[in-house]
A and B are shown apart, each in its own frame.
Chain A
């Protein structure tokens, strides 16, 4: 339970390496066959926190199942922590902790009791261990549920407790594969704290999610899957930079009037009205932007909107951008 600092993640050795990987599973739609995963290339280093996102829940779930050695892959190469995959699938690899379901936890205990039960083989004295665990639960934002029976908790909290248990294990790679769950702010905070604990202890966390806010909050890196292939893999900031094409938003009571004027003056940008807000975006992800010219136009035309706000890059916008790019 002691934290250990590590060197910068990029210098760390490889935790997951996938090369030209394709799945055994195949889609059959209107007589056409397509591998669910095709040509997957991914490199994850130790100490990083990765969020795998995608258009299809099935694809991201399957990718992590293959990564955890639970399902076989058809072709390519997959190496975990610089150790090759075992031929016998589903066997527990000592260095991987896989979380694939909320049912892995015993329901008839409370959270603290379960953590005490799970860490019973720890060498720390019982009273001291319980105090440490309770303190940790409070520190990471789970104090309110520490004495709650697990069967009364929603699935999201249950998997968070499992994730916390995984942190106490000796496994270096934690694969958290429950993408069907959606987390609220009360749940994202402890997840963020646990992810930080995992990362600080030199372990690697890879999780699947379609929740952009969660990825934004807790990940250092992300990968995005479309039609069975990874179309982006890199840091969160790179992802946002590349695909979040919103330049600024203008709030006003008459956004359509402003849009008409702006379209005439600066036709090279894209305009969209949403909830009394005019959103101005880049025409394409690689085009150049001159924010000053937009401000000048607003000023010169005397539009005087209620509020103009520069866009802070977000994963949510980037996901929308990537979907637009791939026409989905």
Chain B
């Protein structure tokens, strides 16, 4: 075998250290497609929850929904991909002086810059397109109605998001020296992009099935400024990359000083005197460094502890909600409940988390209050619509179509009522629903268990990233 790879080919397979192959990029695209359809199926379990009001485009049974989910997931997973392979995918290699060496061997910086940009472009398009096609193929298996009109628009919208994010990160890598800061910056750019999409009305545009039937709508400034703006920013990034990379490739990049390697005596400080001004500047201070390391360790531990604590508390809460019996005998005085019907719409929606307060003897019941009561062995939640001494007339707020209005009117005695509705939270309801699915169990049970068992290696890994 003769090795004669060009810089472009090297770039294409850059991030696969274990098993070098350009084909792995397609496998990653395939994974994104599979993951997106998996997420879509998970989201379908939340059809009757707050999600159907907050983001109906995520819980519909259509190609539009699966492809929109794919676009969302591909952006998220590619940010993680860039963060993990930051050294290889960005211009960080200039800072590691890989280009210094190549320049000494006769490579031209401008050719390398253009090759890198082209390789990134090619690689991202390959990953994204593979994921997009995989999602379409898998959606076919779900037997949804195939509509091709909005597919080109969704493809270009997703690709644009991806390129925008990648080129920003690529450009930033020419300016940010510390790799851990660059990683935090990547997350910040991702969040900012989400905010920008929302604030410039692009999210509303891409979630509109009507508007997305014509790809031209994406670039019309009247619809949203987002796409033209991102295209201009991408172009600017390319120009900045060419000039900046060419400039810094000329220099040898000094790695972050690791004075700890030199076994310096305790309390040694190193200063630098500017030759022109005579100004002194601290380069190394062991005591300050120890303090900083302590602070970072404390911060990392706190984050891990917070995640574990939240997951444990949430699990306990889910268990409490599941085992709580609606008979009013709770030690907190509150009866938690996941409301499983539409009968109290719009006050309480299906799958909302609701709390009832245990009814005390001295509490007076009024018309309009929602109460929980038991007749026979069945528990009902209805609204008081009238009263007569110790008896109350109750009814539901919403009769589904085809049902007889007034069929649920009941007369209940005060003894049968054991709680008054006091609180609801739609998002907690949705979270509890997720927690009871297979993926929910994995997220809320397995993750804290793994964190507890692998606390030390995770902390060491995070500290390594920091240093």
Chain A interfacial positions (CB closer than 8 Å to B): 24-30, 33, 36, 56-58, 61, 65, 68, 70-75, 90-92, 97-98, 100-101, 103-109, 112-113, 116-121, 126-127, 130, 149, 151, 162, 165-166, 168-169, 171, 180
Nearest CB of A to B249, in Å: 9
Q: Is the CB of A116 within 8 A of B251?
A: no
Q: Is the CB of B253 within 8 A of A90?
A: yes
Q: Which residue of B lies closest to A28 (CB)?
A: B269
| 19 A–B contacts, CB within 8 A, in A order | A57-B261, A57-B263, A58-B259, A73-B275, A91-B250, A92-B100, A100-B97, A103-B255, A106-B10, A108-B13, A108-B16, A109-B10, A109-B20, A116-B4, A117-B3, A118-B105, A121-B105, A126-B2, A169-B104
Chain B 225-252 against A: per-residue CB contact (8 Å), 1 yes, 0 no? 0000000000000000000000000111
Chain B 59-103 against A: per-residue CB contact (8 Å), 1 yes, 0 no? 000000000000000000000000000001000010011101111
Nearest CB of B to A36, in Å: 7
Q: Is the CB of B251 within 8 A of A25?
A: no
Please classify the interface of chain B as helix (H, G, I), strand (E, B), loop, or mixed, using the class held by over half of its residues.
loop
| Interface of chain B residues 252 through 279 with chain A (CB within 8 A) | 252-255, 259, 261-265, 267-275
Q: Is the CB of B254 within 8 A of A70?
A: yes
The contact of B252 among A73, A100, A180, by CB within 8 Å, is A100
Question: Does chain A have a CB within 8 A of B141?
Answer: no
In the complex, chain B residues whose CB is within 8 Å of the CB of A169: 104-105
Residue from B4, B107, B264, B275 with most neighbouring chain A CB atoms (10 Å): B4
- The complex places the Cα of A104 from the Cα of B95 at a distance, in Å, of 9
In the complex, chain B residues whose CB is within 8 Å of the CB of A107: 17
In the complex, chain A residues whose CB is within 8 Å of the CB of B360: none
Chain B 149-166 against A: per-residue CB contact (8 Å), 1 yes, 0 no? 000000000000000000
Q: Which residue of B lies closest to A70 (CB)?
A: B252
In the complex, chain A residues whose CB is within 8 Å of the CB of B97: 100-101, 103-104
Q: Which residue of B lies closest to A58 (CB)?
A: B262
- The complex places the Cα of A127 from the Cα of B4 at a distance, in Å, of 9
In the complex, chain B residues whose CB is within 8 Å of the CB of A28: 268-271
Question: Does chain A have a CB within 8 A of B14?
Answer: yes
Q: Is the CB of B20 within 8 A of A108?
A: yes
Question: Does chain A have a CB within 8 A of B283?
Answer: yes
The contact of A24 among B16, B265, B275, by CB within 8 Å, is B275
| Interface of chain B residues 1 through 50 with chain A (CB within 8 A) | 2-6, 10, 13-14, 16-17, 20
7 new A-B contacts at CB < 8 Å, known A25-B270, A26-B273, A92-B250: A28-B271, A91-B251, A92-B100, A103-B98, A121-B106, A126-B4, A130-B3
Residue from B3, B10, B93, B265 with most neighbouring chain A CB atoms (10 Å): B3
- The complex places the Cα of A73 from the Cα of B272 at a distance, in Å, of 10
Question: Does chain A have a CB within 8 A of B422?
Answer: no
Question: Does chain A have a CB within 8 A of B280?
Answer: yes
Q: Is the CB of B98 within 8 A of A105?
A: yes
Q: Is the CB of B270 within 8 A of A27?
A: yes
Nearest CB of B to A9, in Å: 24
Nearest CB of B to A95, in Å: 10
Q: Which residue of B lies closest to A25 (CB)?
A: B272
The contact of A104 among B5, B98, B107, B259, by CB within 8 Å, is B98
In the complex, chain B residues whose CB is within 8 Å of the CB of A101: 96-97, 255
| Interface of chain B residues 268 through 310 with chain A (CB within 8 A) | 268-275, 280, 283
In the complex, chain A residues whose CB is within 8 Å of the CB of B252: 68, 70, 90-92, 98, 100
- The complex places the Cα of A117 from the Cα of B99 at a distance, in Å, of 12
The contact of B101 among A24, A58, A165, by CB within 8 Å, is A165
Q: Is the CB of B105 within 8 A of A165?
A: yes
- The complex places the Cα of A37 from the Cα of B268 at a distance, in Å, of 16
- The complex places the Cα of A107 from the Cα of B16 at a distance, in Å, of 10
Q: Is the CB of B268 within 8 A of A92?
A: no
